[in-house]
Amino acid sequence: MADQFVKDNQQTANKTSPRSSWRTVWLIILAIVAVTSPLTFGITLAAIATLIAAVIVAFTFSITMTTLVLSLAVAAVALIISGIASLFSSVFTGLFYLGIGLTLLGLFIIIGPLIYQLIIWIGQLTVQLAKNVYAKFPHKEKIHNEKNA
């Protein structure tokens, strides 16, 4: 089942959503657990721990970068409002805050899509790592074919 899912996922690699890619990772973990024998359980446990750690790191990175970009936008809006409000009491202070706010807004416009693409790329790397780990383990079909031969 996991073999078929990996093949289908590779055929539709450009059209897949991030959610289906993460589903691929979890199905690969389940397939590895299903195939293992008691002799290779330690290696399997290490591989699964590595995959889970990679998923956690990718998720944490995406949350951190999203928070960073959103805080940049919030700071930009706050500084623009503050600059407009203080423009009437102190012109130079208001212009300073307004300039910094507009600069942060420009950074948000530039960095936002870049961070989004970086998060997508890291998710794809995590899925590729899971597929590579899955390819290293023997599959039941191969084991049954070797026994019958």
Query: What is the per-residue pLDDT across 22-80, written as a single tens digit (0 to 9) for each?
Result: 677 777 777 766 666 666 677 777 878 888 888 899 899 999 999 999 999 999 999 99
Distance of alpha carbon 73 from alpha carbon 101, whole angstroms: 9
Q: What percent of the chain has pLDDT over 90?
A: 41
The confidence band for 101, taking pLDDT boundaries of 50, 70 and 90, is: very high
Q: CB–CB of 28/134 below 8 Å?
A: yes
Domain ranges of the chain: 2-139
pLDDT value for 138 = 66
pLDDT, tens only, 110-123: 999 999 999 999 98
Structure-model confidence comparison of residues 101 and 42, the more confident one: 101
Q: Residue range 123-134: average pLDDT?
A: 83
> 38: buried, middle or exposed (CB in 10 Å: 19+, 13-18, 0-12)?
exposed
pLDDT of 12 higher than 80: no
Predicted TM-score of the model (pTM): 0.64
